[in-house]
Amino acid sequence: MTDLLNKKCVPCEGGLTPFDISEIHKYQKKIDGWEVSKDNKNNYFIEKNFTFKNFVESQSFVNKVGEISENEGHHPDISYGWGYAKINISTHAIEGLSENDFILAAKIDKITNV
Indicate whether 109 pLDDT > 60: yes
**Residue 82, domain extent:** 18-112
Inside any domain, residue 67:
yes
Inside any domain, residue 91:
yes
Q: Which residues contact 60 (CB under 8 A, 6 or more apart)?
A: none
Query: Would you state the pLDDT for residue 113?
Result: 67
SS3 47: strand
Inside any domain, residue 6:
no
Inside any domain, residue 8:
no
Digit-coded pLDDT (tens) for 17-62: 899 999 999 999 999 999 999 999 999 999 999 999 999 999 999 9
**How many folded domains does the chain comprise?**
1
Inside any domain, residue 106:
yes
Alpha-carbon distance of 90 to 95, in angstroms, equals 7
Alpha-carbon distance of 46 to 114, in angstroms, equals 22
Inside any domain, residue 3:
no
Q: What pTM, to 2 d.p., does this model score?
A: 0.92
Mean pLDDT in the chain?
Answer: 91
- CATH number reported for the structural domain that contains residue 84 in this entry: 3.30.1360.20
Edge-to-edge strand ranges of the sheet holding 35-38: 35-38, 44-51, 84-89, 77-81
